[in-house]
Amino acid sequence: MYPTLLEVGPLEFHAYTVGLALAFLVGVLGAVRENYKLENPYPVTPAGGVWIFFGALLGAKIYWYLQYGLTWTDNEGNPYEWYRVFFIWEGGMVYYGGLIGGVIGALAYFKYVGASMLGMGDVGMPFLPLGHSIARLGCFLNGCCWGYHTDGPTGVVFPRYSLAWKRQVEEGLITRSAEHPLPVHPTQLYESLGLFGIFLVMRFAYKHKKFDGSIIFLYPLLYGILRFTTEAFRGDSVRSIMGMTVSQTIGLVLFMGAALFYLIMYQTKWRRGTALS
């Protein structure tokens, strides 16, 4: 755990923030660079990243407010005011909200510049899991999104006063005098590795694609499976929906929705060789 990577005078560069910044840069620049390789590139520039960035940021904040903010109070018992979702310098973000907001931002930008949503989506979508993989490394260094206790060989130990330590104290697994929490699953690293694998699969599929739109939904298909699996090892998530976490439920919906899309398109378009536009 290394939540603060660098301090320059009063400035602090936090691992989570740096991870998000790197993820954003890698994702946007990778997609734009790949677009420029096309024989007829889409009219897309790095400026589109600004649309995606603010869409993702606002979406992540709003989602956090809807899931946690309505019941959240600070140390003095003060409730979380709704307008604070616009305080982008504060914490409190959920990935799925960022995904929804980022997609909306991307679609709005593609519409604005006149780029094919499906065609450019195929170009850029593989870089989403690559950036997401980098962001999860920031989660690991920050100590958030940890797993539950394990004595297995993959277990990692976070320091005293980490989020994992606090949760284990609350659950009575350790006492406040404990120097560190019990070993936990590094679910952040599990997901980071899985996301990099998804990136490789999507890049391979992109190089062999036949129809526009055939790559975009590989991300929700594969990430839905990955998130459903890694959530089973999470120690910070509440299992409130038929024994599943909210993120597990959404992951299952993503997988089923993407699978349904591919089934419909294969039956109606792709089997007959009809290209999408």
Tell me how many domains the chain contains. 1
**Rounded to the nearest 5°, which phi and psi values hold at 150?**
-150, 145
CA nearest to 254, candidates 216, 232, 225, 212: 225
Residue 106 belongs to some domain of the structure: yes
Quick one: pLDDT at residue 35? 92
d(CA 227, CA 198): 12
Single pTM value for the model: 0.85
Query: How far does CA 21 lie from the centroid of its chain?
Result: 13
Residue 35 lies in a domain: yes
For 238, phi then psi, to 5°, come to -85, 130
Residue 233 domain flag = no
Residue 49's pLDDT is what?
87
Nearest one of 37, 25, 207, 224 to 122, comparing CA atoms = 207
Which stretches in the chain have pLDDT values below 50? 276-277
In a domain, 232, yes or no: no
Domain that holds residue 30: 4-210
115 is a domain residue? yes
Is 38 domain-assigned? yes
Residue 194 within any structural domain of the chain: yes
- Which element (helix H / strand E) includes 227? helix 218-230
Q: Is residue 189 part of a domain?
A: yes
The span from the CA of 142 to the CA of 206, in Å, is 33
